[in-house]
Chains A and B, each alone.
Chain A
Amino acid sequence: MKETSSTRMKYGIVGLVIVVLLIGVALGYIIPGLITPPAPTPAPKIKVGLLWPLTGSLALIGRDQVNAFSIVIDEVNAAGGIKSLGGARIEWVLGDTKGDPKTGAAEAERLITEAKVDVLVGAYQSAVTATCSEVAERYGKPFLNPDSTSPGLTERGFKWFFRATPHDALLVKNMIDFVADVEKKEGASLKKIALVYENTLWGIDTAKVAKEYAPTLGYTIVLDMAYPAGAADLSSEVLKLKATDHDVLLQASYLSDAILFTKTFKELGYWPKMWIANDAGHIHPDYVKTLGKDADYVFSREVFCADLGAVKPAIKTANDKFRARYAYDMDGTMARAYTAAALLVDVLERAGSLKPEDIQKAFKGTDWPEEKVSMPWKGIKFDETGQNVKGVGILVQIVDGVKRTIWPFGLATTPYKWPVKAPWG
């Protein structure tokens, strides 16, 4: 059938009209976005972006931190919000980093540009924190980091990055200082150190500090063993340990590897003379929950221990509140999230405005005394690199399934148990 030119023209015109309408509608919808809205007047709501791994292998930790953080925020909101901002309530917005730097950065950007958060908090894994805080720096938004310990994070010359936790350069040294102290006290010789760490950013950072610091105090690293995290079987690693003559085992593992290692120790009959873990896996509540009695006697570097509530009221208050809601004690990671929330509330109160520069100034002006911090720290004060210089680390030991602070000796709530035989005999 041959189309006559007139019908063709008709179709053509109709088609053209529709196309123009579509484009017009599209433009009309999009163009308002072209005109940037005026800067928002301080809203009655304060938005905090939380960047943590909510999925992936460390999601447990992400969730823990959100829980701890939210306790403080809920309490503040219930008590009337931030007074200096007219009783503004704090609302938190979640960003799932998936434990991946690129995803974290994308989420950070989304939280800033779409959710319009005023401050960002996060992100646990140091690599993720690196990229997220880079986004914040770009947009000029304050970034509070409660929990990433890679020293390099505060060496970037950032102006908007504030790290509350002490970092690995300090914390790992604690482990070796403890060995030295025990040697002195017991008159023992523990000069040979075996390093076992997961082959990731965090593990490598740990090993790096240990390798730099230990020799200066006269220790030798006799075994430097990086293992792939999440391995199906750790027999070879443990057998390598058995085959190496050493006095101290320094280990950096997350939860699943920590449990598997301990299990394998038991199976293959290995027990180190002295065993110090670097936080993470060994201090997580699930470690004791899973292993029961077999979790006993390991030492771990930590940043917090619930039993310090006996010597520091701020810690007791914090832990009680957490325990009331979740029925178990906080560990270092949760405690740091809790403290970060408290710090943030204080910063907002002092800032009295939601302008980024004012919040930044308030951060810089932070000077908490020792009694105020719900951590064993000497206070909170940031230096020019954004690092809290008053943080300290402690060492804990698990005895009868409970973590007890045993170092520094001045802070210890109970004396340490050493030398000690394996909990399984």
Chain B
Amino acid sequence: MIDISTFLQVVVSALLLGGIYALIAAGFNLIYGVMDVINCAQADMMMIAMYLCFWFFELYGVHPLLMLFLATPLLFIMGILTQRFIIDRLLGAPLFIQAIATIGLGYVLQNLALLFWKEDYRMIYMEYTTAKTMVGFISLSLPRLVAFVGCLVMIAMLYMLLTKTDFGRSIRATSESREAAALMGINVKHVYALVFAIGAACAGIAGVFTSTFYYTYPTVGAVFLLKMFVVVVLGGCGNVLASIAGGLIVGLAEGVGSFLLLPSWKDAIYQVIFLIVLAIKPTGIFGEKKV
């Protein structure tokens, strides 16, 4: 029989994994919840952040976590530019057109990365990235633990931003009704630009954390994108807090599932769980759009 300690280890590792998925989904949910825009390039923006971490480590020996202070603002700016030039014009468009545009953007990002940095797998390998701590008999990979905590912190911060600040209030007002918000004097264009930028910044933060334990390459986004979608829909589209629930479930499904069954079924397990949840509660566990 499977012994408890191993099983617990599996669960813990799986949960840590789930935290990362939640992190990536949170930014996406923010954008979708407020702007009704599907950003398929979310994972590719994360890829850019991962590369930034790698190159700064490789060339200048900068600790990846320090990149939080560099990658985040860079991606924030990237978000603003993307919003201004592309997303802005897609605001009223059918979801499909948005998806196509952002997928196209994703392709461009991926393949520019491929052109400049080649297809090699880049991994940051240093003392920190292979460190671990023991809690009892459970081994916790340090970078993953930090990433998990970081994710929770980030989502909490987002939540506070949305609920406790004035700016958050304008965001929520705008997400409720663009017209009403405009009538109330809120500069909707600014709100949108900032929201998208924050979403991009979230992808950046996710990338920074992920670069501490995973390798990056031009199409690494694909590994996370599909899962991100499932996390988003599972938790509830547009619901930032629910990203955590969705992420943990997908992480558990993947980790525990592949341990109990066979790893080669890994990709199907979380999809099946997702389909089951869809059948039971189509709007996701926590319902829609409670930004």
Contacts and interface: CB of A to CB of B under 8 A. Distances in A.
Q: In the complex, A touching B, CB below 8 Å?
A: yes
Interface of A: 55-57, 59-60, 63, 199, 225-228, 230-233, 235-237, 239-240, 242-243, 255-256, 259-260, 263, 266-269, 286, 290-292, 294, 424
A32 to B, nearest CB: 37
Contact of A236 (B10, B213, B219, B227): B10
Interface stretch (B99-107, B156-164, B251-259): B251-259
B262 A232 contact: no
Nearest to A242: B6
A291 B125 contact: yes
B177 interface: no
B17 interface: yes
B263 A263 contact: no
Q: Which of A63, A237, A291 has the most CB of B within 10 A?
A: A237
Given A236-B10, A294-B130, A226 B2 contact: no
Interface string B1-40: 0110010011001100100100000000000000000000
B255 A236 contact: yes
B139 A268 contact: yes
B264 A227 contact: yes
A55, A199, A256 pick with most chain B CB within 10 angstroms: A256
A256 B217 contact: yes
Contacts of A199: 264
Contacts of A232: 17, 20, 214, 223-224, 227
A contact face: mostly helix, strand, loop, or mixed: helix
Interface residues of B, number: 40
B267 interface: yes
B119 interface: yes
B141 interface: yes
Interface string B202-225: 000000000001110101000110
Given A228-B267, A231-B266, A239-B10, A256 B121 contact: yes
A238 to B, nearest CB: 9
A239 B118 contact: no
A378 to B, nearest CB: 35
Contact of B14 (A56, A235, A267): A235
Of A57, A63, A236, A294, most B-chain CB atoms within 10 Å: A236
19 contacts: A55-B119, A56-B119, A60-B118, A225-B262, A227-B266, A228-B264, A231-B266, A232-B224, A233-B13, A233-B17, A239-B9, A240-B263, A263-B125, A263-B129, A268-B13, A269-B139, A290-B123, A291-B125, A294-B130
A235 B10 contact: yes
A63 B120 CA distance: 10
Contacts of A286: 120-121
B123 A259 contact: yes
Interface in B261-286: 262-264, 266-267
Interface in B91-119: 114, 118-119
B142 to A, nearest CB: 9
A240 to B, nearest CB: 6
A260 B215 contact: yes
Contact of B118 (A59, A236, A292): A59
Nearest to A63: B118
Contacts of B254: 233, 236
A399 B20 CA distance: 35
B132 interface: yes
List the 5 closest A-B pairs by CB distance, nearest first.
A235-B13, A59-B119, A227-B263, A236-B259, A236-B258
Q: Which of B17, B121, B224, B256 has the most CB of A within 10 A?
A: B121
B6 A259 contact: no
Contacts of B123: 256, 259, 290
B13 A225 contact: no
A38 to B, nearest CB: 42
Contacts of A235: 10, 13-14, 17, 255
Nearest to B142: A267
A228 to B, nearest CB: 6
Interface string B131-148: 010000001010000000
Contacts of B125: 259, 263, 290-292, 294
Contacts of B118: 59-60, 63
Contacts of A227: 258, 263-264, 266
B120 A260 contact: no
A325 B209 CA distance: 37
Contact of A259 (B10, B17, B215, B258): B215
A219 B248 CA distance: 40
Nearest to B120: A60
A228 B3 contact: no
A94 to B, nearest CB: 15
Contacts of A56: 119
A233 B266 CA distance: 11
A243 B223 contact: no
A294 B126 CA distance: 11
A223 to B, nearest CB: 11
Nearest to A289: B125
Contacts of A290: 123, 125
Given A228-B267, A266-B132, 6 more contacts: A56-B119, A227-B263, A235-B14, A242-B6, A256-B121, A263-B213
B119 A60 contact: yes
